[in-house]
Structure formats: structure tokens, C-alpha cells
Structure 1
Amino acid sequence: MDKKPFKKILSFIDSYFCEGNHIDNEDGFDDLFKSTIFSSDYFDTDDFVSYHVSELNYVTGVDLLEQYASIEETLRDQLLEVVFNIIYYSDIDNEIKQKVASYLARYKILFNDESTYKKIIPEGRIEYLEGSFGKVYLLDDGFVKKQLKSEYWENRDIASRFKNEYSVQKHMFELGAQVLEVFDYDSINHSFLMKRADCDLWEFLKENKLVFQEKIELVKQILDIMKIAHTNGIIHRDLHVGNILIVNRNGYVADFGFAKDANVLRSRLSTVSPKPTHQFLAPEGFRNFLELDEVSDLFSIGKIIDFIIGNGQLGTKHPFKLFVEHCTKSVKEERYRTIDELITAFNDLYNDFVNTENIGKITGEIDKGNYSLAVEEYITKLASNEILSSQIVSNSWTKFPEVLQKCDVSNQVEIIRSIYSNYVEATGYGGWKNYDIFASIAYDIVINQFEREIKQVALNILENCAEVRFSAQNLLDRVPYNILEQIQFNKS
């Protein structure tokens, strides 16, 4: 540190802690030192100073500026560390501590939290990320240190919002929400520790291609977090891809509380960033920040879901497109009204989609003549709803008898009766060729191992089809006489 700013700092500290200034302290730093945690390990202030800066001593009652103005440049940071630790751990009023820390921060003198004795962070020696109002220092032990930028330390409103972020996130963690745990709020340095994330959502989706189920799980995690928030009266107001954090491929919501300041949001909108954070803000936020509420959060959630399902892009085609559009209506009153309503709509849509996906697999199995319990359940459901025949036509299930043969006998009866009741209608107007499908199915049932009752119904279908289709008549003519005799005998 240069001599000129160093002397200014000493003079500023003297103005608070030396005789005749802001506080009554005839013994300079000696009284302050006695109230610190260090007083039990060191004889006095001089002992403490000389231990940490061996080249220096402390003289009681003499101003810091008078004692140390001319010390070597290499000793200046060490001395300021000693002085700050005495002030920080003393019983002096917190407002004075904050003023000292704020004044030091003007000269980019910040302190780490790696040990009890706080040391100055060497400028340019620690990695950090920078936002509009704060910095996130990346520590080596799986934690980060979030700190309000020093230029805002004396802004009571912004400083209060920053502390509120810590308080809300701590409360959310205690409520069981999936948020990163926070520790040790330092009101002097306006900072706190937080567990470190791997990356944010924007970075995660740029580097990873998720399968569909991974996307759904990520969305559900975010919805669960926001349900806890809204249930407890906590509104985020600034949800976007930059404050959805990822740890081991799981989603965590961050930056609770701080976004309630309109200045923060204005700064966000005016900041140039590759992340499209402004696109996640509800329209009412652009008009009046005070209008942002829980329904505004639902707008942002819809955008985030769109971003996740769309592989890191907004506005792509996907199964949740209509759902997203409902979340993000420009007119607030036309959106989902509560987080519970939104979650219910999402789950219903997801379940419908999953069922559609399963149906696709099941119909494929039926087409191949493969049986499973899911196949039997699906066919039985179609039969009970009187739509089995139409599905047979639309899917051309010529191997249907192979599946039917493996179904429970009681279900076989209900299934064939349903086909008999609806097959004519299912052929459609002028759909004469569709009779061939039912004739083929009926023929296979008649000549294979089925109960007589089932064969009887199948024979009736085949005979009826034979009246309108020569190909069906040919199949009827191919039925062995002994089989016809058995069926006819049972009729009589």
C-alpha cells in the first residue's frame, strides 16, 4: 500500500479511538484490546502487535498516525490486520466497527474468514465472481464467501436487503427446502459463508444434454422449493437461470430476499450479461417493481421450466408448451394463481404425457403380438369404454388374437363381446377393407385354442363379415368342419 492512503486510514482510525475524539479512551487501544478474545493469550496491546509484526511496538496514548506513518511499505498491511482484529473483536459499538470496515474497503482492503485472526485478502490473489451488488469469493474448502460490494456498505437499505438474503435462505434451509446452507453472517464486513455449488442452471444446460426424466426431476425440485417458499410467505421476485444453482445435478434456489429491492432489479436489467436473465422477469416488473408478487414468481417458474425442457433455450416446441404459455400470460390475472395450482397442472400434464408414452409402447407390443399385464389392462380398458374395435382398425392389429389368447379367460369374454358390439361401426363409412381386419382376427380365434363361448362370438363376426367381403367368405370356407361342428353343437 502506498504511503498516502495508508496515512489517511491511520488518521481515520485515530479519529475514533484516540483521546479527545469520538470516544473517551485515554489509553488508546489498550482498553479495546482488553475486551477482545486475544486478551487472555497476550499480555497487552504491545505484546499483541509485536507478536504479529515483530518489527513494531505499540506505545499507549500515542496516535497510530504518529507511531506508524513512516513504517516500511511491507509492514503496512500487517499493521492494519492487527488494528482491524482489535477493533473487530472488541466490545465497541457495531456501528463504529462497520464504519471502519467500510472505510478500509474503499481502499480494497477486505478480510477473509479462514481463521479467527482475520487477514487481508491479497488483491488479485483470490478468485471471485461479480454481480451487480456483490461478489462471491470461491474458497478452497467447498464454500464460497458472499460479500456485499464495499460501495454499498453505508447504504442501509441495500445492506439490509443483503442481510435479509442470508436470513431468508437460512430459514428456508431450516424448513427443509433444497437451498444451500449458509453460515456466519458478518455484519461488519457484510458477508456470509455458503456451501459451494457446481454451477448455475444456465451453465449446466449449456454443458449437459439431459434426458427427459432428468429434466422432469429438476423441474420438480424447483417446484418443491418454491412451494415451501410461498407456503411460508416468501416471495423471490427475481427467479432466473443465474440463481438456480446445481450441485451433483440437483437444483437449488438461491438469492432469496435480496431481490425485494427495486434498485437491485433495475441494476439487473441494465447489466450486460450473456445470461438472458431479463427474459425471466414478469411484465409487471418492467412497469412497476412494487407489483411483483407470488404470481410474478409463477411467471418466472414457467420460463425456467421452458428453459429446462427446451434444452437450455426458450420458446422451443415441447410437450409443456401450452403449460408454459399459461404460466407466462402477459395479463397477470390469466396466469395460474397459486403455486399449488401450477404444480397440479404440471403433474397432470406430465402424467398424461407419461401415459401417452406408455400407450405408444403398449400399442407397439400389441402390433407385434406380444403380451404383458400392461397390455391386458390397456385392452380391457379399451373394451370397457367401447373403443377397442376402433383402435383395432386404426392400428391394424392383425396379430391381436395372439395377445388375446394369453389374457385371463374372463377378460377374453368381455373383450370379444366388445368387438362384436362395435366392429361394424368401427369399419367406418365405406371402409369395406376394414371388415377384412375383423374377419382375419375372428378366423384366428375360431381355429385356435380359445374357449367355446369366445369362438362362438368370433364365428358370428366372421359370418357377418363374409356377407359383405369375399375374402372373409374365403376364410369362413377354410374353417375345418370339426371345429364348426363343435361350435354349432355348443350353440344347440
Structure 2
Amino acid sequence: MEQDNKWYQLGHGGFANVYGNDNETYAIKQLKTDMRDHGNISRFKREYEITKSLEELCNIIPVYNFNPKTYSYTMLRCDKTLKYYLDSENPSDEERTLIIDTILRTMEKVHEKGILHRDLSVNNILIKKGNSEIYIYISDFGIGKSLEIESSYQTQFTNGIGQNDFAAPEQLLGLKNSSKASDVFSLGRIINYIYTGSVDDSSHKYGAICDKASSKNNKYRQSDAGVLRQEIEHQKELNDNDRLKNQVFEQIRRGRYDDRSANYIQSLSSLELSENIKNQQGFVQLVIWYVEKYYRTNSDYILKIIERINKNCVEVANRFEEADNFASLAYQILSNSKLGYSYELRANAAEILNWAAFDLNRFYAQDLVKDLKSGGIEPLIEAIFEE
């Protein structure tokens, strides 16, 4: 593409540049000159063909024609990437919900067609504004794959296995390991970024679902984008359900819990969870039940819960006595050796108890520390308790 008065570069990626001109409707994506070997040309054409095959889906970026002579194709021109939109503006919760719903519904249909994206990120989702509305498009199927085709292009380049912050662990080992669950991993981290600006920060209302989606082990993730969307929809209903909250509080009163209790915990932000612990001794027992029930099947998420409580307890406890429930929670985790909690989990619990006992000088918490020491605890955990 000659860069003259008519055409100018709009953006670039690892393999291609995108050009525009005074026509605000169309852009041209062209394979970089130094990337035009057989493999990359094949990949670039496959990107066009997969995208074109999905043209019936209104939120897949429209592409119009492929020019084999210039190694380029025409596409709809958008205004910015989702990353730029999120970083430069402050979308309302309604806009964030719309973006997530659009992405999930679109990828659900892509998965139903037996196609993997394998490079989903906030950089490969595009935003176009018009008439006070935003339009969301999924693009860049360059390392996409049709599950109906036995073989697909595999590159040895690092940027050919997806963007590291969003790519599933098994995909980083090789594209052949990818599945719909690999796209789910990326989607979970995209949702995190939409709400928190970080792929790793899941302290939002769908955090439990995103932690499941981005589990290191793909067998614990949702199987495809449709299942992920359904879980988000279900959680959305629970978040707005006052009846569920009343039922859970009745279960707390009776000391008997079921899946409704688990759903309620998962609907809370990390701050809301800590507020409930602070205000209700009965809620401590609910959290202990939840930790014990789910630790074996999702230890990563349980660790994140305790890490967040460790982080937030200082912020929510405005009076010294409000630390006692946190101390009780930490003590029960540390005194339970049956489930074989990881060192990281127990260390976070010990830090919570140490804060209550010695930073705040709560005698109740100090007695709990003495009880642990008298029963014998490992030296690394005992070293955390410094009076």
C-alpha cells in the first residue's frame, strides 16, 4: 500500500498494517512486506476466509474482498480497539454489560459453527461509534481454526500463539492443544479487563465465573462461550434477586447451606464479601463451608477469595472489635488440616490473624494465636505471628 496523500496508516500488528483514507467507511489490511513468506501468506488468507465465512454474524468485522497481488483485503473501518476505548473513556456499567453480552453471544455462535478464534484479546475487538451508540466487532482470526478441518496453520513465532496475557496456558505450549475452552480462558480475562483494567483482577460481580473461565486447568473451565454466557446470565439474575439474599440469610441463621449459598457468595464483590464477614459471625461459617466445599475442585479461586479478604479486612474494619470475625475465619482455616490447604492459603490466613492479634492488639485474636501454637504449627506459618 503506497502511503501517499490518499492512504495513511491507521494501525499495525505483528503481521499486518491497517490503512485508511478520507473514506470513513472502509480500511485496508495488508500483510507486511517482510512477513510475506509462504506460511504467513497462508495464514493471512485464512484470516480473511474464516472471517468471510462468518459474515452472517453481525458482530464479526465485515470483510469485502481479498487482493492476492497486494496481499491485502478490504474491511469495515472502526474507530478504536476495545482496549483503547476502555483505557481512554469511562464506560457506564450498562455499556460494559452490552460489550460483554455482545462478545459472548457472538463467540457462542462462532463456537457453534465449530470455529476457534485462538487470539481473543481487548486488542482484537474493535469499536465503532455512530448515532450515540457503540458497535462491537470481533476481528483478527489469523490463527483461527475450523474444527471441521483436520489440519491448520501452526506458526513457530511467539506472536502466533496469541497474546500472552490472554492466551490459555495449553495454547502457549502449542496451537494444536487449543480448544473452545482455550477461547473461554481468553474471554474470562477480557471480562476482567472490562471491569477492572487488569486481566488478573477478578474483583467484580462476575469474578467467580471469570476465575473458573481462566483456570489453569482447562477441565475446570466452562466448555465453550455459550456455557460461559449462560453462567453470566444466571449470575446477573442472582445479583438482582433480593429473594435469594433473604433465603441465604435464613440458611445462615439455621447453619445449613446449599447451592443458593454458594451462588450468593459468588455474586459478591470482594469488598461486599468482607463487609458481610465483618457484620455477621454467621457469615464466617458460611465462608468456611464454601472454602471446604470447593477447595478440592477449585483451589485457585479459593486462594483468591482469602487473598482478597486479607487485602480488604484493613479497609472495612473501622473499629477494633470488627476484626474479631476476620480472626475467627483465619483461625478456622489454620486449624483445619484435613483438606491439606496450600501454604499460600494458610499464609494469607495467618496474615489476617496476625493483623487482628498484634497490629490491632485484639486479645481475642491473640488467644487464637496461642491456641494454634500450643497445638503445633509449621515454623513458616508460626514465623508470621510476630508480636
2:51 equivalent to 1:165: no
Cα 1:133–1:124 shift into 2, 3 Å:
farther
Q: 2:106 aligns with which of 225, 229, 236?
A: 225
Distance 2:28 2:119 in 1: 21
1:60-71 correspondence to structure 2 within 5 Å: none
SS at match of 1:209: coil
Q: Residue 311 of structure 1: CA displacement?
A: 4.7
How far residue 137 of structure 1 moved from its aligned partner, in angstroms, is: 0.8
2:127 pairs with 1:246: yes
**Aligned amino acid, residue 127 of structure 2:** I
Cα separation, 2, equivalents of 1:187 and 1:320? 44
1:284 aligns with 2:166: no
| Among candidates 174, 181, 184, match of residue 62 of structure 2 | 181
Which residue is equivalent to 1:144?
27
- CA contact under 8 A between 1:168 and 1:256: conserved in structure 2? yes
Q: What is the SS of the residue equivalent to 2:226? A: helix
Q: Secondary structure at the match of 2:60?
A: coil
| 1:212 pairs with 2:93 | yes
Alpha-carbon displacement from aligned partner over 1:346-382 (angstroms, at most 9, x marks no partner)? 110011112349989xxxxxxxxxxxxxxxxxxxxxx
Matched, 1:256 2:141: yes
Structure 2 residue aligned with 1:376: none
Return the alpha-carbon distance in structure 2 between the equivalents of residues 171 and 278 of structure 1.
27
Residue 321 of structure 1 aligns with an amino acid whose one-letter code is: G
Tell me how far 1:312 sits from its aligned partner.
Answer: 5.8
Rate the CA distance shift 1:128–1:210 in 2: closer, same or farther, 3 A. Answer: closer
The CA distance in 2 between the partners of 1:199 and 1:131, in whole Å, is 14
> 8 Å contact 2:192–2:200 — kept in the other structure?
yes
Distance 1:125 1:244, change over 3 A: closer
Deviations 1:225-247 (A, max 9, x none): 10111111110001011101111
Shift of 1:202: 0.7
More off after superposition, 294-303 vs 157-166: 157-166
- Give yes or no for contact 1:177–1:228 (8 Å, CA) kept in 2: no
SS in structure 1 at match of 2:234: helix
**How far apart, in 1, do the equivalents of 2:140 and 2:119 lie?**
8
Deviation at 1:314, TM superposition (A): 4.0
Question: Residue 209 of structure 1 contacts residue 311 of structure 1 at CA under 8 Å; is this kept in 2?
Answer: no
From the superposition, tell whether residues 283 and 294 of structure 1 become closer, same or farther in structure 2 (CA, over 3 Å).
same
Any conservation in 2 of the 1:229–1:235 contact (CA below 8 Å)?
Answer: yes
Q: Which residue of 2 aligns with 1:333?
A: 219
Aligned pairs for 1:285-304 (under 5 A) are 285-304=171-190
Secondary structure of 1:280 counterpart: coil
Amino acid at match of 1:263: T
User: Displacement of 1:280 after TM fit?
Assistant: 0.6
Superposition pairs of residues 69-88 of structure 1, within 5 angstroms: none
Structure 1 stretch 312-321 or stretch 176-185: which is displaced more? 312-321
For the aligned residue pairs, the C-alpha RMSD in angstroms reads: 2.7
Counterpart in the other structure of 1:191: 72
Aligned partner letter, 2:191: I
Aligned partner of 2:159 in structure 1 is 267
CA–CA separation in structure 2 for the residues paired with 1:125 and 1:232: 36
Residue pairs, 1:71-470, within 5 angstroms: 110=1, 120-122=2-4, 126-142=8-24, 143-153=26-36, 155-173=37-55, 175-248=56-129, 249-259=134-144, 261-263=153-155, 266-267=158-159, 277-311=163-197, 314-356=200-242
Alignment length (residue pairs): 235
Work out whether residues 205 and 312 of structure 1, in 8 Å CA contact, stay in contact via their aligned partners in 2.
no
* Distance change (3 Å), C-alpha of 1:125 and 1:184: closer
Tell me how far 1:302 sits from its aligned partner.
0.6
CA distance in 2 between counterparts of 1:313 and 1:329 reads 13
1:201–1:246 contact (8 Å) kept in structure 2: yes
Taking the aligned partners of 2:68 and 2:209, their CA distance within structure 1 comes to 43
Q: Which amino acid aligns with 2:104?
A: L
Gaps of 5+ in 2: 146-152, 247-279, 281-387
Query: Counterpart of 1:263 in 2: which secondary structure?
Result: coil
Q: CA deviation at 1:206?
A: 0.7
CA offsets, 1:64-120, max 9 Å, x none?
Answer: xxxxxxxxxxxxxxxxxxxxxxxxxxxxxxxxxxxxxxxxxxxxxx4xxxxxxxxx5
Give the secondary-structure state (helix, strand or coil) at the position aligned to 1:220: helix
Evaluate the alpha carbon distance shift between residue 161 and residue 313 of structure 1 in structure 2; reply closer, same or farther with a 3 A threshold.
closer
C-alpha contact 1:295 1:337 (8 A) present in aligned 2: yes
Question: Aligned partners of 2:161, 2:54: CA distance in 1, in Å?
Answer: 27
- TM-aligned CA distance change 1:316 to 1:335, over 3 Å: closer
- Which of the pair has more CA radius of gyration? 1
Question: Using the alignment, how far apart are the partners of 2:89 and 2:222 within structure 1?
Answer: 30
CA, structure 1 residues 357+299, in 2 after alignment: closer, same or farther (shift >3 Å)?
farther
| Superposed displacement of residue 164, structure 1 | 1.2
Q: What is the CA-CA distance between 1:145 and the residue it aligns to?
A: 0.7
SS at match of 2:205: coil
Give the gaps of 5 or more residues in structure 1: 1-109, 111-119, 271-276, 361-393, 395-492
Q: Give the residue type in structure 2 aligned to 1:348.
A: H
Structure 1: 4+ residue segments shifted above 6 A: 357-360
TM-score (norm 2): 0.56
Please state whether the residue corresponding to 1:176 is helix, strand or coil. coil
Encode CA deviations 1:242-267: one digit per residue, 9 max, x unaligned.
Answer: 10111122321001244554437613
Match of 1:278, SS? coil
Larger strand percent: 2
User: Corresponding residue for 1:379?
Assistant: none
